């Protein structure tokens, strides 16, 4: 069993991005500028946005975090998005999800200028991605592809089972893995899938992205499978200082011995999500996708 270190791959890609940024700035261009909007005070979201800020600084970006109270109106948020769309000093921006229930995530996502949509969540980027056209790829699926590439994991002709059909992970992941160059035969499983255990057990590559702690157990995993764990749930723990620990969607201790490769939580997919956002922001600054 080989433990896939997202931390290590992220570190290596970080150096490449930092070098590219240094060359860009050395040519007299403005440093790429990423803005993150954070609404409310969800603990996990604050941690993730904090990691995005830190990584931005490490690769040489300028970054700004706009923090708003959970009770702002949708109209106000759309106004802030409009300002960022028009601001020539902002290359890319994201609105960290989830949003408070009274704000529509789809209206917010659609309001972002696709040219600045470094999350790759806008329908224009999603559509372009599905057609194999140049687009910003959603960060988590792109980060997973980078892990497969780094570890030289064969995907062509493999049976890949994706569990979870979210707009930001499961569905784009299933789509990308089925595209030319990756060439997987993909099954997308979800809460209404019949015989889920049997479906997952067919997978040469399993991507668990349903958001249920320790859902994938050893009996669902074929011997020698590659297991990618996207889940990250905080559960109470009396063994940590913070009072909680992180669990993936995979029951790691029993699944790991059966795998050829497996990602840990933390230190697996999470750091790659951050790196892919940096890749997209650099592309935005260089106007690589839309010119």
**Minimum distance, C-beta of residue 45 to ligand L34, in the bound complex (Å):** 7
Q: Which is nearer to ligand L34, 175 or 263 (CB)?
A: 263
Alpha carbons 116 and 280: distance in angstroms, whole number: 9
Positive or negative, the CA dihedral 152, 155, 161, 163 is positive
**Of residues 13, 205, 250, 274, which one binds ligand L34 by CB under 6 A?**
274
- Which one of the listed residues 52, 251, 279, 283 is annotated catalytic? 52
Alpha carbons 48 and 219: distance in angstroms, whole number: 32
Alpha carbons 92 and 281: distance in angstroms, whole number: 6
Strand 92-95 to strand 244-247: parallel, antiparallel, or no bridges (unpaired)?
unpaired
Q: Does 266 interact with ligand L34 (rule: CB under 6 A)?
A: yes
Alpha carbons 289 and 117: distance in angstroms, whole number: 11
Rounded alpha-carbon distances, angstroms, from residue 45 to 37, 219, 273, 290: 11, 33, 13, 29
Q: How many residues bind ligand L34 (CB under 6 A)?
A: 18
Q: Does 48 interact with ligand L34 (rule: CB under 6 A)?
A: yes
Q: Do the Cβ atoms of 227 and 188 come closer than 8 Å?
A: no
Active site residue 83: no
Active site residue 96: yes
**Of residues 19, 41, 47, 217, which one binds ligand L34 by CB under 6 A?**
47
- Which one of the listed residues 91, 116, 117, 119 is annotated catalytic? 119
Active site residue 238: no
Alpha carbons 136 and 142: distance in angstroms, whole number: 9
Would you give the binding string for ligand L34 spanning residues 134-173, x where CB under 6 A is met? Answer: -----x----------------------------------
Q: Does 65 interact with ligand L34 (rule: CB under 6 A)?
A: no
* Residues identified as active-site: 52, 96, 119
- Contacting positions for ligand L34 (CB under 6 A): 47-48, 51, 94-97, 119, 139, 232, 246, 265-267, 270-271, 273-274
């Amino acid at each position: 069993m080989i433990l896939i270190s997202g931390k290590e791959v992220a570190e290596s890609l970080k150096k490449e991005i930092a070098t590219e940024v240094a060359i860009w700035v050395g040519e007299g261009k403005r440093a790429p500028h990423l803005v993150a909007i954070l609404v409310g005070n969800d603990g996990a979201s604050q941690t993730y946005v904090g990691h995005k800020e830190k990584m931005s600084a490490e690769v040489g970006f300028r970054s700004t975090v706009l923090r708003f109270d959970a009770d702002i109106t949708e109209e106000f948020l759309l106004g802030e998005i409009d300002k960022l769309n028009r601001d020539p000093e902002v290359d890319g921006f994201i609105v960290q999800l989830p949003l408070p229930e009274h704000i529509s995530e789809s209206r917010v996502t659609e309001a972002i200028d696709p040219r600045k949509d470094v999350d790759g969540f806008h329908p224009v980027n999603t559509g372009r991605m599905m057609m194999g056209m140049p687009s910003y790829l959603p960060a988590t699926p792109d980060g997973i592809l980078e892990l497969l590439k780094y570890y030289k994991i064969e995907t062509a002709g493999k049976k890949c089972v994706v569990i979870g059909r979210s707009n930001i992970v499961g569905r784009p992941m299933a789509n990308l893995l089925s595209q030319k160059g990756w060439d997987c035969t993909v099954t997308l499983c979800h809460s209404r899938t019949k015989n889920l255990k049997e479906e997952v057990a067919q997978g040469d590559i399993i991507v668990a992205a349903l958001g249920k702690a320790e859902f994938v157990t050893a009996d669902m995993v074929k011997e020698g499978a590659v297991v990618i764990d996207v889940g990250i749930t905080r559960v109470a723990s009396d063994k940590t200082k913070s009072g909680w620990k992180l669990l993936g969607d995979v029951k790691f201790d029993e699944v790991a011995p059966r795998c050829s490769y497996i990602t840990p939580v933390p230190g697996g997919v999470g750091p790659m999500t951050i790196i892919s956002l940096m890749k997209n922001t650099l592309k935005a600054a260089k106007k690589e996708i839309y010119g």
